[in-house]
Structure 1
Amino acid sequence: MKGIGMTLIILGVVGIILSFMMYGDIAIAGLIGSISSLVTGIGFMKINKIIPSAKP
């Protein structure tokens, strides 16, 4: 779960940076997608700390 969380956080940050380079409606869609990826990655990292038996 830690690997998935870190991957989602990295993709979220990269997506936010790339969405600032876009314009129009696609920029808003990219920003929303990257923010949701970032929040999901943070959630996976918190769950990994709460449930220690979920480690691979």
Structure 2
Amino acid sequence: MRIIGVLLIIVGVVGIWAGTQAFGDIGISCMIGGISALLSGIGFMIAAGKMKK
């Protein structure tokens, strides 16, 4: 789960960066996708920490 979390965080950061480079509607959708991937990655990291206990 930790690997999935790290990969989602990386994809989220790249998506947010791509959203800043794009124009109009596509930029907004890239930012939304990047933010959701980032939040999912953080959730996976938290869940992996709680499952370890």
Bin the TM-score by the shorter chain: over 0.9
The residue that corresponds to 1:28 in the other structure is 28
Structure number with higher helix proportion: 2
The residue that corresponds to 1:11 in the other structure is 11
Runs of 4+ in 1 over 4 A off after TM superposition: none
The CA RMSD over aligned residues, in Å, is 1.0
Number of residue equivalences: 53
5+ residue gaps, structure 1 = none
TM-score w.r.t. structure 2 length? 0.95
Q: What is the CA-CA distance between 1:52 and the residue it aligns to?
A: 1.3
Are 2:51 and 1:48 equivalent residues in the alignment? no
5+ residue gaps, structure 2 = none
Taking every aligned residue pair, what percent have the same amino acid on both sides?
47
Q: Radius of gyration: which is bigger?
A: 1
